[in-house]
Amino acid sequence: MNFLKIPNKKGDKIIFYHDFGRGKGQRPSTGIFVFKRPKNQIEKNHNKEALSLLELKRSHLIIERQAVGTGFIPKHKFKENFVDYYEEYIRLNKRDGNRHLENSLTQFKLFTEDKFVSPVDITQNFCKRFRQYLLDKFTGETPANYYARFKWVIAAATNDGYFKVNPTENIPSKPNPSTKLKDNLEVEEYIELLNTPCFNHEVQYAFILSCYTGLRWIDVKRLLWKDINGAILTTRIIQKKTGHPVILTLHPIAQSILKKREQLAGNYYHDGENCVFRLPSQDGCNKVLGQWIGNSHIRKHITWSCARLSFSILLKDQNVDDATIAYLLGHTTTKQVQKTYKRHRPKNQLETISHLPSPDLMPYFLNLEE
């Protein structure tokens, strides 16, 4: 196994390249170089260590070729720290709009409380404890989503030879249904909110935009000017089936908010890479939102996620089909719309029960003999 030696442009160094053939991409750099004419002891030492490293790479490549078809995986192909493997998996597989994969690693690190986790430590019991950690910490679909991404990583590691048997195979993902139902805003409450002053206009405009687009807090926070083209907003929520971002046609209220932001932004607007809103943390936004709601006549517990729920419910009230609502929310199926983004309580109980038999029967009831 030989390496190509190619001088750099200045001619003072020799760079080593792999030689896997003459096709495109078959001669990648090894990242190793030596000084052509070392001027001092430091450069001489560098050359000596670089050549030693090159020999190690040569040995690794020979072993890898000899192992082809045997099922044997050379030791140097393994990462001793499973956190490194996890991070590399995310780097190679992450995509815009899917935060669950990266967040699963964040929770994994918090769970282990250690920067080093050996693959041998990841047993079936370890995986059960990690799942329970997520269930104790989060509600709704979040623990299931995070654990499902962890299972992806473990499955990949099993295929790569880190585990003989997948330790998560018999440990399914589990949601943690919230015992407290989220409130949603009704049409009249939208109007009430639009007419109630808020001391933080960044939060005010951003939340109303969420109410009229169904965007999450994180989607609004990272919204860039280049994502907006007149009445069209291109979100960075990527549809899995099509591989394309979700395209939203903006409601006139949403358009007026963005127009107002454009006027206030001035030159800042013309750089498409700038954010539309400069929001505080999610907790900070919800604190402002709570004060704003408190100043209105709305007597509900409203957080930022209620905007997304309200968006879906009000569309369903107008008989918009679930498939369309799912697309607008960035989902590839109607499962979440039917399960989560729907009414869990009637808007008006009196109106609901009025559909029971008519009050005209009351005289008949009163004339009944005891």
Residue 219 scores a pLDDT above 70: yes
Please tell me the least confidently modeled range out of 45-49, 118-122, 191-195, 356-360.
356-360
Tokens 């280049």 locate to 226
Top-ranked range on mean pLDDT: pick from 6-10, 70-74, 95-99: 6-10
Tokens 């309200």 locate to 310
Please tell me the least confidently modeled range out of 56-70, 148-162, 184-198, 293-307.
56-70
Residue 179 scores a pLDDT above 80: no
Give backbone dihedrals phi and psi of 344, rounded to 5 degrees, phi first: -110, -5
Distance (Å, whole) CA 217 – CA 99 = 13
Query: What pLDDT digit, counting tens, does each position of 311-325 carry?
Result: 999 999 999 999 999
Radius of gyration of the chain (CA): 29
DSSP 224: B
Distance (Å, whole) CA 257 – CA 42 = 62
Please tell me the least confidently modeled range out of 19-28, 111-120, 246-255.
19-28
3-state secondary structure the chain: CCCEEEECCCCCEEEEECCCCCCCCCCCEEEEEEECCCCCHHHHHHHHHHHHHHHHHHHHHHHHHHHCCCCCCCHHHCCCCHHHHHHHHHHHHCCCCCCHHHHHHHHHHHHHCCCCCCHHHCCHHHHHHHHHHHHHHCCECHHHHHHHHHHHHHHHHHHCCCCCCCCCCCCCCCCECCCCCCCCCCHHHHHHHHCCCCCCHHHHHHHHHHHHHCCCHHHHHCCEHHHEECCEEEEEEECCCCCCEEEEECCHHHHHHHHHHHHHHCHHHHCCCCECCCCCCHHHHHHHHHHHHHHCCCCCCCCCHHHHHHHHHHHHHCCCCHHHHHHHHCCCCCHHHHHCCCCCCCCCHHHHHCCCCCHHHHHHHHCCCC
Output the pLDDT for position 23: 82
Please tell me the least confidently modeled range out of 5-9, 28-32, 248-252, 289-293.
28-32
Residue 243 scores a pLDDT above 70: no
The closest alpha carbon to 310, from 189, 211, 206, belongs to 211
Rounded average pLDDT over 258-274: 78
Edge to edge, what strands does the sheet with 245-249 contain?
228-229, 232-238, 245-249
Rounded average pLDDT over 267-278: 79
Residue 352 scores a pLDDT above 80: no
The closest alpha carbon to 245, from 167, 328, 171, belongs to 328
The closest alpha carbon to 307, from 353, 253, 358, 363, belongs to 253
Sign, Cα dihedral of 354, 357, 361, 365: negative
Task: Extract the tokens encoding 206.
Answer: 């951003």
